[in-house]
Structure 1
Amino acid sequence: MLLLAKLQVKPTLIEEIKSKKPLDITLFPHIKQIEQGKIKDFTSNDKGAFCFQGRFCVPKDEELRQTILREA
């Protein structure tokens, strides 16, 4: 019996969200306000991802958003 397998290593969605966060300039003002303790609805979770009321803020990246939709 012959068994062929293919293993692909991909970053998790959280890692992809974190890596693309610096590319979305619309998130910068919120990040500054979080660091200064001025807003409470926006947070940075323990993995470094940016969240609004406990939900991930996904950077404006069409490929990433499509990936998330496909996974869902």
Structure 2
Amino acid sequence: MGIHVIRKGEAMGYLSLEPKLYDEIRGRQASDVKIQEWKGVLERGEPSRFELHEDESLRFKGRWCIPSDDELKKKIMNEPHNTPYSVHPGGDKLYKDLKKTFWRSNMKKEVAKFVARCLTCQRVKREHKRP
């Protein structure tokens, strides 16, 4: 949880707690229909490739299952793609980095679309192509 600090001398201040990314994923899993179906399979004791973690989050081979939430998916892809240390990795590199921690069906296709819409990546790639 992040905490906003109240600066000395402010007339009015506030304390705000913000969820971490994993807390946000776990919270949004609760409202995702498909994820709830997969949890139901586990609760009935049926064999599954999914697992229910001790924090009640659904995982696939130890990786976080990402709910079908466009805002959340964009947030997950945006952070490693736009960090100053990664220099806008292409679709393959970004996918390899994300798949270590996250799982979603069709994630590779979604990452490719995300990178294809990045204007910085398009400008850089254009410079390296032959006319």
Normalising by structure 2, what TM-score?
0.45
Count how many residue pairs are aligned between Structure 1 and Structure 2.
66
* 1:61 and 2:53 correspond: no
Secondary structure (helix, strand or coil) at the match of 2:51 reads strand
Residue 9 of structure 1 deviates from its aligned partner by 4.4
The one of the two structures with greater contact order (alpha-carbon pairs below 8 A, sep at least 6) is 1
Say which of 2, 6, 23 aligns to 2:31: 23
Which is worse superposed, 44-53 or 7-16? 7-16
Moved over 2 A (4+): 7-10
Secondary structure (helix, strand or coil) at the match of 2:30 reads helix
* 1:35 and 2:39 correspond: no
Gaps of 5+ in 1: 1-6
User: 8 Å contact 1:42–1:52 — kept in the other structure?
Assistant: yes
The CA RMSD over aligned residues, in Å, is: 1.7
Indicate the structure (1 or 2) with the bigger Cα radius of gyration. Answer: 2
Alignment-derived partner of residue 22 in structure 2 = 14
Secondary structure (helix, strand or coil) at the match of 1:33 reads helix
Gaps of 5+ in 2: 5-15, 81-131
Residue 19 of structure 1 deviates from its aligned partner by 0.7
Normalising by structure 1, what TM-score?
0.76
Distance in 1, matches of 2:42 and 2:48, equals 7
